[in-house]
Amino acid sequence: MVRIRLRSYGVRLDILCVVACLSTLQAIFVSSHRNYINLNSTGRPLLHEHSIEVLKQNDFGGYTVPALGLYPFQWNWDAGFIAAGWAAFDVDRAWEEMETLFSGQWADGMIPSILFWKASDTYFPGPEIWGTKENPSNSTGITQPPIAGVIVRYLYDCTARTNRRLAQQKVSKLFPKILAYHRWWYKARDPLNTGLVAIIHPWESGMDNSPAWDEALHAFPVDDIPPYEREDLKHVNASMRPSKDTYDHYLTLLYRFKAANYDPEKLYWMSPFRMTDLCTNSVLFRANRDMRFLARMLGKKEEVREINTWLRKGKERFQWLWDMDSGLFKCENQLTGKLSSARISGAFLPLFAGVASQDQAAALASNLKLWIDEVKFGVPSADPAGPVFDPVKYWSGPLWININWMISSGLRHYGYNELAEKIEMDSLTVISESGLREYFNPRTGEGAGGESFSWTAALYLAWLDGEVL
């Protein structure tokens, strides 16, 4: 007997049943989403088996690459979303994804944005750029949004349903490592103790070419960097990727950080790019809440107190990022003290964190409806009425499934169930119509970027068969 928790319109149905009835349960979910999911002749979602195949095909042994060729290593926040997908059919493999990620943790607590576990010549900038040709690095020297705490809580919930002891054992091994990672964030990226952390490279946000970085990125000149050849453009059309000038800025930052030996004590102060990113801070805040839950479960009182301090300070400081005029949260440029004028999908992630007031949530929900009315499928990564919106250019407009997963979860917490449902349906529809693509044109639903993309496959599975986030 297995216990399967099925989600349908945000309601948890706890059902005891034999494995054989899985397809019946899935049919309940599918029947409520019938108009949005393509089914095969036996009534199962067409992409269900294919999503599992994609994760298996992208499994390089203990870690899953985001997309063959285009992204041939393990990425930090990808690993988290991907683990949620593995959990829908192989929870041991889900834990392994996170354990592999944390085996690459630096001594100071940082989890790098990319771990170069196995050699590949299909990605730039790879290990020989982060390190040297003679002495390649085994990781980047920067990080990514810290989703690990959220995911480990999620895996705990998945596992504890059938085996609480195992769930606790798994958590107790990862908990101190995640806590060390959060401590690293506050020490290295909030040395002034404001309550919110900074990113020092657009790659750290995971939203590389978001319009939120345009002004700050172009405020410093490009250095005399070595000539380079981009590998991404061999896999994806240039119209869907960041521009050459943007890449020149990315590499300028990389080479400056490398010259400082990626010393976190120095990088915060020396970086000409220092932003309070909404996505990173919302994810960190939410991860702190999930870590507090896990700390309580493990009986770690001191740690609960420490996390509470982060939560208290973070909550206060988030208000600094609220822009009353637009009814949106905004990223802050720490070097100028100004809020960025860009309107990005990260504006809605404080709902996922749970730091928005009810009034702020109402303003966010009405803005979100306007954005979705402008396109066809939500959520575009930038305001579709904004000056630089581009529906296929990476993070300057396309719809991303991981962001939708977090925004819809946030909306449900605030009671905006209809809007959450619309975003869930849009996600299932674009995937159903266009496949497991990296991102989607929100006007047409067409796929863009990489193909057989792991987190799209993973979150499709998590939505069909997984836990409630």
Residues that bind ligand DGY (CB under 6 A): 113, 203, 208, 232
Instruction: Tell the smallest beta-carbon distance from residue 185 to ligand DGY (Å).
Output: 18
**Is the Cβ of residue 232 or residue 306 nearer to ligand DGY in the bound state?**
232
* Minimum CB distance to ligand DGY, residue 120 (Å): 12
Token representation of residue 14 = 């706890």
Minimum distance from residue 171 beta carbon to ligand DGY (Å): 28
Nearer of residues 64 and 113 to ligand DGY, judged by Cβ: 113
In the complex, the smallest distance separating the C-beta of residue 406 from ligand DGY, rounded to whole angstroms, is: 18
Nearer to ligand DGY, 117 or 203 (CB): 203
Instruction: State the Cα–Cα distance between residues 286 and 283, nearest whole angstrom.
Output: 5
Of 96, 97, 157, 208, which is the active-site residue? 208
Three-state secondary structure string covering 320-355: HHEECCCCEECCEECCCCEECCCCEHHHHCHHHHCC
Least separation, in Å, of the C-beta of 437 and ligand DGY? 15
Angle at alpha carbon of residue 352, lines to 309 and 152, rounded to 5°: 70
Instruction: Report the distance separating Cα 285 and Cα 288, nearest Å.
Output: 5
**Nearest residue to 177 via CA among 107, 282, 95:** 107
Residue 394 burial (CB < 10 Å; 0-12/13-18/19+)?
buried
User: Between residues 97 and 465, which has the closer beta carbon with respect to ligand DGY?
Assistant: 97
Task: Dihedral sign for Cα 265, 278, 437, 63, please.
Answer: positive
Residues 426, 438, 451, 467: which is the catalytic one?
438
Task: Confirm whether 208 is a catalytic residue.
Answer: yes
Please tell me the distance from the alpha carbon of residue 63 to that of residue 57, in angstroms, as a whole number: 11
Closest CA to 467 of 87, 148, 98: 87
Measured from each CB, the residue nearest to ligand DGY is 203
Scanning the structure block, which residue is given the tokens 């920067």?
A: 142
199 vs 423, beta carbon nearer ligand DGY: 199
Minimum gap (Å) between residue 77 Cβ and ligand DGY: 10
Contact 462, 88 (CB under 8 A): yes
Nearest to ligand DGY of 78, 383 (CB atom): 78
Pairwise CA distance, residues 336 & 166, whole Å: 49
Query: DSSP readout, 242-271?
Result: --HHHHHHHHHHHHHHHHTTT-HHHHHHH-
What are the tokens at 374? 């402008």
Nearest distance in Å: CB 439, ligand DGY? 12
Closer residue to ligand DGY in complex, CB, 93/189: 189
How many residues in total does the chain contain? 469
Pure H helices in 148-208: 148-160, 164-189, 202-205
As annotated, the active-site residues are: 208, 438
